[in-house]
Amino acid sequence: MTKDEIVGLITGKLTSERANIEAQWQNPEDTPTRHFVIDGLLPENIAHAIYDAFPKSADGFYSRESFREKKRTSAKIEQYDPILGAITFAFQDPETVKLVADIVQFDRIEPDPSLYAGGLSMMFEGDFLNPHIDNSHDASRDRYRRLNLLYYVTPDWEMSNGGNFELWDADCKVPKTLVSKFNRLVVMETNKDSWHSVSPVTVPGPRCCVSNYFFSEISPDNSDYFHVTSFTGRPEEHAKRAIGAVDNALRNTVSKLLGFGRGKDEARK
């Protein structure tokens, strides 16, 4: 399966679901963050082939582990089965980008071939991602991060497995949970208030996901701003909330002064 063939499948599905996507995007439920969900994005045999192409362990993946998160990612797409590159860059194809941008009515949207903070993700039992807002910019700080595209490919993934995507209300008190369901695409907007997370995985896993971000020179609210990826705790995690506020302020200050953003070295060159 080539990238161009996958592009045709993705754009065909998005076009057929356009009215549904626009309705979801324009009227988000239980969260202020605009988003849409498409199930059955690709024929199941292709989605299974993508999952089967993921490595059997996270050896070689970059591991993050702190009070903020525990996850494993890789932007080194060339090291793996070609179908993983095909699906990753099918989302970045001009035809796909143009269609998504047109549906959500965003201007001057561009993909990120460097896969800064994107690429392949594997999460295992105990892995999690606390509520956070994404880094506001790309690695060079020339463009604002505007859209997050997440494509899940682990078969038979259920709510009880954990590892599910969560979109929060403005106070990060109540989440809207979207199961990381097999062959499901989730697209969300990214801005100063788009708090999201991944619930702790409760099974050995892996929960496999292909991630992409789209950027634009245009700010989400037409203001000039910058912030690092900023975390808080879950509603019951009072200590993490307090620590997170201090941690976010410190990392933001250091990043502004040094011009250094975390994860830059993990991106493709």
| H-run or E-run covering 249 | helix 238-258
pLDDT at 239 over 60: yes
Q: How confident is the model at residue 80 (pLDDT cuts 50, 70, 90)?
A: very high
The correct answer on CATH 2.60.120.10 for the domain covering 3-266 is: no
Amino acid found at 265: D
**pLDDT tens digits, 147-166:** 999 999 999 999 999 999 99
Q: Are 71 and 61 in contact (CB under 8 A)?
A: no
Q: Are 241 and 232 in contact (CB under 8 A)?
A: yes
d(CA 191, CA 170): 12
Q: Are 120 and 177 in contact (CB under 8 A)?
A: no
d(CA 180, CA 198): 9
Residue 265 CA, chain-centre distance (Å), reads 18
**pLDDT tens digits, 15-74:** 999 999 999 999 999 999 999 999 999 999 999 999 999 998 888 899 999 989 999 999
Would you call 2 exposed, middle or buried from its count of C-beta atoms within 10 A (0-12, 13-18, 19+)? Answer: exposed
Mean pLDDT of 218-234: 93
pTM over 0.85: yes
Q: Please tell me whether residue 173 adopts helix, strand or coil conformation.
A: coil
- Please state the domain extents for the chain: 3-266
- Residue 259 has a pLDDT of 65
d(CA 92, CA 7): 9
**pLDDT tens digits, 81-131:** 999 999 999 999 999 999 999 999 999 999 999 999 899 999 999 999 999
Q: Specify the DSSP class assigned to residue 201.
A: P
pLDDT at 186 over 70: yes
